[in-house]
Amino acid sequence: MKRWIAIVVIVLVAMAVPQVLNPSGYWMRVFTLTLLFAAMAQAWNLIGGLANQLSLGHAAFFGIGAYTSTILLLKFGISPWIGMFAAGALGGLAALVIAVPTMRLQGHYFALATLAFGEVARVIANVWTSLTGGPGGLSVPFVPPSFAAYSFKQLLPHAYIALVALIIVTVIFEVIRRGAMGYRLRAIRENAAAAEVIGIDTTKVKLQTAVISGVLTAMLGTLFAQVAVFFDPDTAFSAASISIRVALIAIIGGVGTAVGPILGAFFIVPIEELMNDLFSSGAAGLSQLIFGVILIVVILWRPRGLVTIFEALRARLQGRGAQS
């Protein structure tokens, strides 16, 4: 009960925040990006957290999503709302292609293989100029503003769309985590051989998870393209600013928990945006340097993520309550 009240309050606050921000201002942008990255980290959390397969290649799905909807809009005038589902289908397909040869790999090996896959996607996007426009990038064309065309005068609607997306992805995560699939994934994570013995088709479960994660990430790529308006292969398929960042957000927040990616995104994205803003003119690299230091500190101090701070706090409060 208490839990539900907390969730309702947080959602209401999140809905109220865009109302007090400048509808097309800087902070609206930061808020929207934070929600989008939280949703992406949550999608990563399915495969990275529940299945414990640490993917460093999610930029592949993200980039496919951004490119699919934008190319459909540019070449055929198809609304990104529909393009988003095409993006999801292709993202799922890509996840299947990547997962089949790599699913048996664990830990470091899986991370390395997915990193290479992300880079393959980036190289292909750079080279396949006739489809993607190559290194020059793509601009989302201007269409008269309307909801059906997914085109708005202000950033405000994008913030609400991002919020809805985050809620949907989080609900999917929780449903899977609590459902039969979550139990299977946990069994595989704890002991894959034992899971196999009690009749879990480990390969199938991991493949399903990877595909769901890929579909969601690609669809979020479409949302991102609509906010960013311009992107090129090196940003949309970036190992550092997409694949690694998404994984980091989930890990810093608390991997395998529904709260973790949201906490991580609200911690990292605003700090990063602020530092980029403060230092971009002064010294190149400083904001990323500080980002790296924060990352190292959090991993050494809270290897299971910031979410453990709250757990520790709650434990202390309850301990005190029991004493008094």
Residues forming contacts to other proteins in the complex (CB under 8 A) are 54, 101-102, 104-105, 107-109, 111-113, 115-117, 119-120, 123-124, 126-127, 240, 244, 247-248, 251, 255, 283-286, 288-289, 291-293, 295-296, 299-300, 303
Burial of 29 per CB tally in 10 Å (0-12, 13-18, 19+): middle
Structural contact between residues 244 and 56, judged by C-beta atoms closer than 8 angstroms: yes
CB of 52 to other proteins, least distance (A): 8
In this structure, which long-range contacts are made by residues 99-102, counting pairs with CB atoms below 8 Å and at least 24 apart in sequence? Answer: 99/206, 99/207, 99/210, 99/211, 100/207
C-alpha closest to that of 207 among 111, 104, 115: 104
Residue placing its CB nearer to other proteins in the complex, 108 or 320: 108
Residue placing its CB nearer to other proteins in the complex, 281 or 324: 281
Residue placing its CB nearer to other proteins in the complex, 168 or 295: 295
CB of 120 to other proteins, least distance (A): 5
Helix runs in 133-281, H state only? 156-178, 180-190, 192-197, 202-228, 233-236, 245-253, 259-279
Residue placing its CB nearer to other proteins in the complex, 109 or 147: 109
CB of 88 to other proteins, least distance (A): 24
CB of 61 to other proteins, least distance (A): 16
CB of 44 to other proteins, least distance (A): 12
CB of 254 to other proteins, least distance (A): 11
Q: Which residues contact 207 (CB under 8 A, 6 or more apart)?
A: 96, 99, 100, 103
Residue placing its CB nearer to other proteins in the complex, 283 or 322: 283
Residue placing its CB nearer to other proteins in the complex, 148 or 300: 300
C-alpha to C-alpha distance for 263 and 248, rounded to whole angstroms: 12
C-alpha to C-alpha distance for 26 and 6, rounded to whole angstroms: 28
CB of 290 to other proteins, least distance (A): 9
Backbone angles phi, psi at 281, to 5 degrees: -75, -35
Residue placing its CB nearer to other proteins in the complex, 179 or 303: 303
- Residues 230-245 as b/e (b if ≥16 CB within 10 A, e otherwise) read ebbbbbbbbbeebbbb
